């Protein structure tokens, strides 16, 4: 849920709560004021009744306008005056009505009477109902207006923020255009744009420094390695060398080749992590897999491995160079870690690419399998192949997973929807 929706929801809930509680307090306050006015009228009527008794007239029931007075003889000596709500029969309207009454003890010719005067509160009740309905209507209009205001005005207010967020998501460190942010009338959003802009500049500077270092390191390392390799090639062809010298030179040659591949792999990882490789083209994956299988045909035959392929038509936009590295690592791992006479299965569907191969009976450590320089004890590789695979998958938002089922090591690449 978006922040504006959260704000609207919270604002409406708080407003409804406050208005509901306020309406209850308001209703009781109006009732209290109305009762106070009725009580003052009752007190006046009670005073008139007492004056009526002092004139020497016998107490009797009377109805005046809507005032209803009843005198009841009693043996009680004391009675505390009280005001209360009641229901009485109004002889004028011939129906029961709600009323407000006062009750007090009066004395006439040494005889005690309880005088109860009741007045109708129908008028007050009607007035309270009208006021309550008008108040509730105003509250409903206020809440509806508040909802519309938050829904549409605040959405417009947050537009620059979402624009900035979209620009951050699309930000590519290798792109030339700098981050600009969406201008806004809100000071906090402008400060956010300014902070992100400064951060992007620092990141770009660091990226350019790293890129320059990587390119220089690559050049400086590759040149002497190439020179050493060339000289070793020349030495290996020298027929005057003895077997022991030739063996030592061959070992040095293998080590130099391994260092060269390691250097190339590390440089490629640096490029992937910095998203330097940006060339994209439409690749027909089933053709790329078939071509790669042909390249590994000699190695497959050397270990007498059986390769089966179930390939459907699938195209994917990516760097041809990186897809070649991806397939190369899958094939080389499936061959290198397989046993003599084993099997390899390659399946390509619209949703996923799956490599299965026989090999060691135990599954690989799934939590470390894609980490750098993590490899099995019997592995002759550099420990960077699966790291390259993972980074390539991350670059193109592909899901990569490993499992070991029924003796088969399975690597699955999930294509994005």
- Residue where one domain finishes, among candidates 248, 276, 304: 276
- Residue where one domain finishes, among candidates 247, 276, 305: 276
Which of 81, 61, 79 lies closest to 70 in space, CA to CA?
61
Low-confidence ranges of the chain (pLDDT < 50): 64-65
Q: Which H/E stretch holds residue 156?
A: helix 154-169
- Residue where one domain finishes, among candidates 143, 161, 187: 143
Residues 281 and 271 in one domain: no
In a domain, 170, yes or no: no
Residues 370 and 325 in one domain: yes
Residues 123 and 197 in one domain: no
> pLDDT of 212-234, one tens digit each?
777 677 667 777 778 888 888 88
Contact 360, 324 (CB under 8 A): no
Q: What is the pLDDT of residue 313?
A: 93
Residues 300 and 267 in one domain: no
Which of 174, 169, 254 lies closest to 214 in space, CA to CA?
174
Residues 206 and 300 in one domain: no
Q: Which H/E stretch holds residue 380?
A: none
In a domain, 156, yes or no: no
Residues 33 and 85 in one domain: yes
Residues 266 and 282 in one domain: no
Contact 398, 317 (CB under 8 A): no
Measure CA 77 to chain center.
76
Integer Cα distance of 332 and 298 in angstroms = 12
Q: What is the spatial order of strands in the sheet that 111-120 belongs to?
A: 62-64, 67-74, 111-120, 95-108, 82-90
- Determine how β-strand 281-284 pairs with β-strand 82-90: unpaired
Counts for the chain of helices (H) and strands (E), in that order: 9, 12
Partnered with residue 410 across adjacent β-strands are 356, 403
Write out the residue range of the structural domain in which residue 396 sits.
277-414
Residues 129 and 42 in one domain: yes
Contact 181, 193 (CB under 8 A): yes
Residue 158 CB-density burial (10 A; 0-12 exposed, 13-18 middle, 19+ buried): middle
Contact 91, 138 (CB under 8 A): no
Instruction: Calculate the alpha carbon distances from 51 to 45, 103, 255, 393, 398 in Å.
Output: 10, 16, 126, 102, 99
Phi and psi at 300, nearest 5°, equal -65, -45
In a domain, 164, yes or no: no
In a domain, 406, yes or no: yes
Contact 114, 76 (CB under 8 A): yes
Q: What is the pLDDT of residue 331?
A: 92
The contacts found for 334-340 with CB under 8 angstroms, 24 or more apart, are 334/409, 335/296, 335/299, 335/300, 335/303, 335/305, 336/379, 336/380, 336/381, 337/376, 337/379, 337/409, 338/303, 338/305, 339/303, 340/303, 340/304
In a domain, 409, yes or no: yes
In this structure, the dihedral spanned by the alpha carbons of residues 189, 193, 195 and 196, taken in order and rounded to 10 degrees, is: 130
Residues 105 and 235 in one domain: no
In a domain, 397, yes or no: yes
Contact 401, 411 (CB under 8 A): yes
Angle between helices 122-148 and 3-54 (to 10 degrees): 170
DSSP annotation string for 228-275: HHHHHHHHHT-TT--HHHHHHHHHHHHHHHHHHHHHHHHHHHHHHHTT
Sorted by sequence, the CB contacts under 8 Å of residue 152 that are 6+ apart come out as none
> pLDDT of 64-120, one tens digit each?
445 678 888 888 888 888 888 888 877 777 778 888 888 888 887 788 888 888 888
Looking at residue 149, the DSSP 8-state letter turns out to be: I
Domain count along the chain:
3
Integer Cα distance of 336 and 318 in angstroms = 27
Residues 112 and 237 in one domain: no
Residues 17 and 123 in one domain: yes
Q: What is the CATH number of the domain that holds 294?
A: 3.30.565.10
In a domain, 363, yes or no: yes
In a domain, 166, yes or no: no
Residues 357 and 293 in one domain: yes
The token duo for 154 is 């605040």
């Amino acid at each position: 849920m978006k922040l504006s929706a959260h704000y609207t929801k919270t604002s409406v809930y708080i407003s409804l709560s406050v208005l509901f509680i306020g309406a209850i307090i308001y209703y009781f306050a109006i009732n209290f004021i109305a009762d106070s006015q009725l009580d003052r009228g009752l007190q006046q009527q009670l005073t008139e009744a007492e004056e009526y008794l002092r004139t020497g007239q016998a107490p009797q029931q009377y109805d005046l306008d809507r005032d209803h007075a009843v005198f009841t003889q009693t043996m009680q000596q004391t009675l505390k005056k009280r005001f209360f709500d009641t229901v009485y029969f109004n002889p004028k309207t011939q129906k029961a009505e709600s009323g407000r009454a006062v009750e007090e003890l009066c004395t006439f010719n040494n005889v005690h009477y309880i005088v109860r005067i009741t007045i109708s509160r129908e008028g007050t009740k009607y007035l309270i109902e009208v006021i309550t309905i008008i108040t509730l209507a105003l509250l409903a209009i206020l809440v509806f207006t508040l909802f519309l205001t938050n829904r549409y005005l605040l959405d417009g207010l947050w537009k620059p923020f979402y624009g900035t967020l979209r620009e951050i998501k699309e930000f590519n460190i290798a792109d030339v255009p700098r981050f600009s942010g969406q201008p806004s009338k809100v000071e906090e959003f402008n400060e956010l744009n300014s902070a992100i802009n400064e951060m992007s500049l620092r990141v770009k500077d660091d990226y350019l420094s790293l890129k320059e270092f990587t390119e220089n390191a690559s050049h400086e390392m590759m040149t002497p390695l190439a020179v050493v390799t060339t000289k070793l090639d020349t030495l290996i062809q020298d027929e005057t060398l003895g077997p022991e010298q030739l063996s030592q030179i061959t070992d040095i040659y293998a080590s130099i080749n391994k260092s060269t591949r390691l250097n190339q792999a590390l440089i490629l990882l640096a490029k992937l992590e910095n998203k330097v490789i940006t060339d994209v083209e439409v690749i027909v994956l089933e053709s790329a897999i078939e071509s790669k299988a042909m390249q590994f045909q000699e190695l497959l035959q050397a270990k007498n491995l059986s390769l089966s392929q179930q390939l459907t038509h699938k195209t994917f936009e990516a760097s041809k160079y990186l897809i070649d590295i991806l397939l190369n690592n899958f094939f080389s791992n499936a061959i290198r870690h397989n046993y003599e006479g084993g099997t390899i299965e390659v399946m390509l569907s619209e949703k996923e690419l799956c490599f299965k191969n026989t090999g060691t009976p135990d599954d690989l450590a799934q939590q470390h399998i894609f980490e750098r320089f993590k490899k099995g004890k019997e592995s002759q590789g550099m420990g960077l192949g699966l790291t390259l695979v993972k980074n390539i998958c991350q670059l193109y938002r592909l899901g990569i997973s490993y499992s070991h089922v029924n003796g088969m090591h399975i690597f699955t690449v999930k294509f994005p929807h």
